[in-house]
Amino acid sequence: MNAKTGLYKWAIMSLALLLMGTFLVPIGSSEAGSGTLQGYVLDDRFQPVRDVKIKIVSAYYGHTYTVFTDDSGFFSISLPAGSYVLSLNPNGYTVEQISPSIAYVKPGSTVNVEVRLQRVLGDSTLHGYVLNEEGEALEGAEVMLYSRDVAGFSLNGVTNESGYYSVNLPAGSYHVLVVDSGYSYVTEVLDITGDVEKNYTLLMPEGAGYLVYGKVMNSTGEYMSHIEVSLIDSANGHMVPLDKDSFVRTYIFRIKVYPGQFKLIVESEGYTPLVEDITIDGSSPAWINNSIVLEEAPEEDIITEIHFSEDFNASTVTQRWTLSPTTKLYGLKFTAGSPLMQIDRSLGNGDLVIDNTEMQRFVDYLKAIGPRKHLTDGYFTINGKVYEYDPEGGFEVEVNDITGPVLEGEMPQVVYTFSYVAEEGFENPESIQIDVLGLDSGEKLKFFLPEEYEVIENFGEDVGMIDEGNVSIFTAYRVFSFTAKVKEEPVAKVTPARADLLRFREEKSYVLNLDDPLNLTAKESYDPVGEIVNYTWAVPGVGEYYGEELNITLPSDGEYNITLTVTDSSSLTSTDWILIYADGVGPAVVAFIQNETGVNVTSADEDETLTFNATLSTDNTEIDTYVWDFGDGTGIITGDVVYHVFRDPGVYNITVNVTDIAGRYTIYTISGFVVRDITPPVAIIEPIGTENAVDVDENVTFNASQSYDPREDPEDWVYNLTLYMWDFDESDGLWWENNKTTPDSNEGAIGKVVVHTYSRPGFYTITLNVTDSAGHTDQTNYTLEVRGADLRVSFVEYEPAEGKMTEGKKLVLTINITNKGSVKAEGFTVWVKVGGKKIKSEYISSLEPDATYEFKAVWKNPTAGTKVVKVEIDPTDAVLESDEDNNVYEHTIKIKEKKSQLTTWLAVGIGVLILIYIGASKYYRDQWGYEPILELFRREGGKKEKGSRKEKGAGGKEKKKGTGKKSEKTPKKEESEEEGAPEEEEEKAEGKKDKKKGKKK
């Protein structure tokens, strides 16, 4: 066998495998339960082939599974029930046989598959080195070879650490691609026969290199969340591989390419694929489009009709499948683009034209797959029983004409016809329950029941519906359950649709207000096994109406016997009736108000209990309710006799709504009911600051804005009273109690907010009297402190200090005067007196709050004795103070009597004599050994002692005389005392001055 013959044999095997491995787009769930798929992979010598990767794909739903063969060539895998296609591409082998070609796994079953491989004995070799532009070996570079003789056949080699590669392959023409990450492609078409050595040098790209780049969005400008991109080499007929320098992410893609002609396919689920021809060459190294727009594609449409036999044991199935541009035929080798593109590339020559041969291959491919579901356990059941595909019933496939240009052709429309049989037989059930367990996307499932059955409920358009009024045909749109039974007669039943508008009189008899519409419904009518298809209402003297509900207005008073006739889908009928009395006359209302003594009144005091009576009202049928509204926001009270208390004064409009059993009503109003105010207002004075105190001459704002006339709800209190009167406590009594209508400015004021100034410090009692609109009054008091200056002696220092003061020695007093008040003190005098005589008068022109004034007072020649020091501040009350009781400082001091000069000199002389005696005695003792004076005393002892006594007496007498003379002397008048008279005159002058100043102030 020559090389070309070998390639053609490979092509035939590939096409056979392709037909066996093709499956439909996944549009639903796989069938319930699971089974086992197992088998052996053997070569052409019946030897096991190990480590073969087998890909197993669900033929209907696209689920993919992978398993590897063991040392004995055996593989086994557990799979959900369904049909599966196996595919494998073992290195050095071609697939010769897979039996069975379609593996159907039933729940709990085991399916054995035999795979036979044919060893590939290539008669040619391509080998060489891959280097970079600096001559260095590139490890891991790929050499890809795509056959130009057999579509879909490719091989590749990978370089080792020396950059060497070698590929064994059949002789033929190949498109060679050499690629490594970070380098540009090297591409060429090469005819390979025998041993061919080929070395390649990869270059770094200039700039971004050759590439295809794009961003994908929908027609509204929103970027896609997921895309699929395929790039086909148009000249060489294969997909451009994506290396590490390429990517496809969410809405953006970048594919490294080489010069050539390409076909770009961009896809996203739910959108029509975009197909565009691209040319890449030296003049156009990159194709970039940042605004690729995909249009929404129509959805797949599947209509499955199931015609059941009379005993439900068999059914004929017709399934119509219209493919969408986004449908994927996953069983085909190529799945990029629309279904027509997939068919053309997988079953044809990829020329974008489908001919009759390619179309027939597509039909054969569908027949090989068989029905979408072999079992109905995940599809539908009847009374819990499952149906199974019956191969003996045949499997027919019809496809519309899809020949012609791929890019212009209509989507394939496939019609399957086959049979299901029940796994367990039925015995003509009277009632069946059909459970729809799962529908493919876009599928409608239509059930055709035996003629004597009918569907007993209609589930609405969102779930399903009876088909065209035929109760034996039902169309389902999603998962749900419904029931069918043998036909029975319907049951008619009339009920009020608006029970609130009808008043029950007796069974099937009601009263209706003539002004209200009559709303009746037949919704409680039913058909035990089918559906009611017609409702007819007959109203005597009015006419006939149709529909499940009757909504009319009766023309006049009177009784109406209304009938309802229902007809079901089997043309069986049933009738019901209802009696309606139409009432058009409302009640005649009489209402009055009484006080606690039972007297009718038109006015009352607030908080007085009143009786509201409407018992004299009448109606032509029967009064149902009395509803009172008192107009004071307290809500409503029901009853013919009710009691109410008006908590707030005012003028009120009281209404009573009297309604009869027909719902007709009359509203009666008692207008202008006066409620008198008997509650006095509440007087409130807003606090003045945080200490309730102000300064003299300060403008004080008195605010009565919080005073109010109380109401039941604090939110309704009245804050705008009619009169606000203030008394400032600067005159005797309250001014309004002195027969005054307007106060003097110093007495008080009138107004909600007033201002007053106090000129004298002290504590004042402010009185507020308020009057409301009813003439009621309230009065309150407020104590306010008016602060002035507060002068006091804060410090007195004596020089000399106490205990060292002596007569005749100057005494200096240092005195501090401090203003402890909050107002400046201006123009006052301080007197300093000692022993009742003024020694200092100090005038202070100004003293700020918390300030201290210091001065000195001097007593030049103090006299001995106990003296009282007195400091008087502002003795003439020139300054009005907050506290006048702390203006005087008094303190008692003691001035010692001074000693005489004779006594002083005598003491000094005696001291000198003693010192002389001590010195002489020491001299004689040192010179002669005795003291002469002591010796003299010893000799004259007796005589000396007598003489001594006489001298003492005389001396004492003389001393007594001297003392007497001194005590008789009159002390010299002190300088301060001599200045006393002028000080008193000054004091009187200062007093007059201060008094004049006080009056002015």
CA distances 717 to 405, 670, 679, 686, 774, Å, are 90, 26, 12, 17, 14
The whole-number pLDDT of residue 900 equals 61
* Cβ contacts of 535-544, under 8 Å, gap ≥ 24: 535/564, 535/565, 535/566, 536/564, 536/565, 536/566, 536/567, 537/562, 537/563, 537/564, 538/562, 538/563, 538/564, 538/565
CA 748 from centroid of its chain's CA atoms: 59
Phi-psi domain of 350 (left: phi exceeds 0; alpha: psi -120 through 50; beta: other):
left
509-513/502-506 β-pairing: antiparallel
Indicate the residue among 425, 454, 486 that finishes a domain. 486
* Cβ contacts of 349-355, under 8 Å, gap ≥ 24: 349/151, 350/151, 350/237, 352/405, 352/406, 352/407, 353/404, 353/405, 353/406, 354/402, 354/403, 354/404, 354/406, 354/409, 355/403
Do 335 and 437 fall within a single domain?
yes
Q: Print burial letters for 519-544: b (CB count within 10 Å at least 16), e (below 16).
A: bbbbeebbbebbbbbebbbbbeeeee
Do 241 and 198 fall within a single domain?
no
Is 526 within a domain? yes
CA 341 from centroid of its chain's CA atoms: 51
Do 223 and 245 fall within a single domain?
yes
Do 478 and 432 fall within a single domain?
yes
Is residue 898 a contact partner of residue 807, using CB atoms and an 8 Å limit?
yes
> What's at 562, amino acid-wise?
I
Q: Choose among 134, 196, 190, 199: nearest CA to 168.
A: 196
SS3 123: coil
Q: Print burial letters for 154-182: b (CB count within 10 Å at least 16), e (below 16).
A: bbebebeeebebebebbbbbbbbbbbbee
Structural domain total, the chain = 8
Do 531 and 426 fall within a single domain?
no
Q: Which residues contact 409 (CB under 8 A, 6 or more apart)?
A: 340, 354, 402, 403
The whole-number pLDDT of residue 902 equals 65
Is 73 within a domain? yes
Q: What is the CATH number of the domain that holds 798?
A: 2.60.40.10
Q: Which residue's structure tokens are 């053609």? A: 8
CA angle 265, 267, 272 (to 5 degrees): 100
The whole-number pLDDT of residue 257 equals 95
> What's at 686, amino acid-wise?
E
Is 133 within a domain? yes
Q: Choose among 587, 559, 588, 591: nearest CA to 661.
A: 587
Indicate the residue among 783, 809, 831 that finishes a domain. 783
Do 167 and 248 fall within a single domain?
no
The whole-number pLDDT of residue 222 equals 95
Do 699 and 664 fall within a single domain?
no
Neighbours of 15 (CB within 10 A): 16
Do 314 and 444 fall within a single domain?
yes
Distance separating alpha carbons of residues 484 and 528, to the nearest angstrom: 10
What domain range includes position 639?
592-676
The whole-number pLDDT of residue 931 equals 58
The whole-number pLDDT of residue 230 equals 93
Distance separating alpha carbons of residues 955 and 951, to the nearest angstrom: 6
The whole-number pLDDT of residue 928 equals 65
Distance separating alpha carbons of residues 628 and 613, to the nearest angstrom: 10
Q: Choose among 412, 312, 395: nearest CA to 359.
A: 412
Do 703 and 730 fall within a single domain?
yes
Distance separating alpha carbons of residues 587 and 835, to the nearest angstrom: 108
Distance separating alpha carbons of residues 20 and 367, to the nearest angstrom: 10
Torsion angle of the four alpha carbons 381, 385, 388, 392, in this order, in degrees rounded to the nearest 10: -120
Is 619 within a domain? yes
Mean pLDDT across the chain, nearest whole number? Answer: 85
SS3 370: coil
Is 919 within a domain? no
Structure tokens at 623: 């009064």
Residue 645 backbone phi and psi in degrees, to 5: -125, 125
Residue 258 backbone phi and psi in degrees, to 5: -140, 165
Whole-number CA gyration radius for the chain: 64
Do 306 and 441 fall within a single domain?
yes
Compute mean pLDDT per 10 residues along the chain, 1001 residues long, and list them: 40 40 34 83 93 86 90 95 83 84 84 90 90 95 92 86 94 95 94 96 87 96 94 92 91 95 93 93 90 92 93 93 88 85 88 93 88 87 92 92 91 94 84 90 90 74 72 84 84 93 89 92 87 93 95 92 90 91 92 94 93 93 93 94 93 96 91 92 91 90 92 77 93 89 90 93 94 91 92 94 92 94 92 93 94 94 93 91 88 87 70 79 69 55 44 37 34 37 45 40 29
Do 578 and 620 fall within a single domain?
no
The whole-number pLDDT of residue 774 equals 86
Is 943 within a domain? no
CA 587 from centroid of its chain's CA atoms: 55
Is 959 within a domain? no
Indicate the residue among 245, 272, 294 that finishes a domain. 294
Phi-psi domain of 46 (left: phi exceeds 0; alpha: psi -120 through 50; beta: other):
left
Helix and strand counts by DSSP (H, E) for the chain: 8, 69
Is 561 within a domain? yes
The whole-number pLDDT of residue 481 equals 86
Is residue 526 a contact partner of residue 611, using CB atoms and an 8 Å limit?
no
Q: Supply the DSSP symbol for 683.
A: -
The whole-number pLDDT of residue 332 equals 80
Do 395 and 315 fall within a single domain?
yes
Distance separating alpha carbons of residues 31 and 108, to the nearest angstrom: 12
Structure tokens at 727: 């008394």
Residue 561 backbone phi and psi in degrees, to 5: -100, 100
431-436/380-382 β-pairing: antiparallel
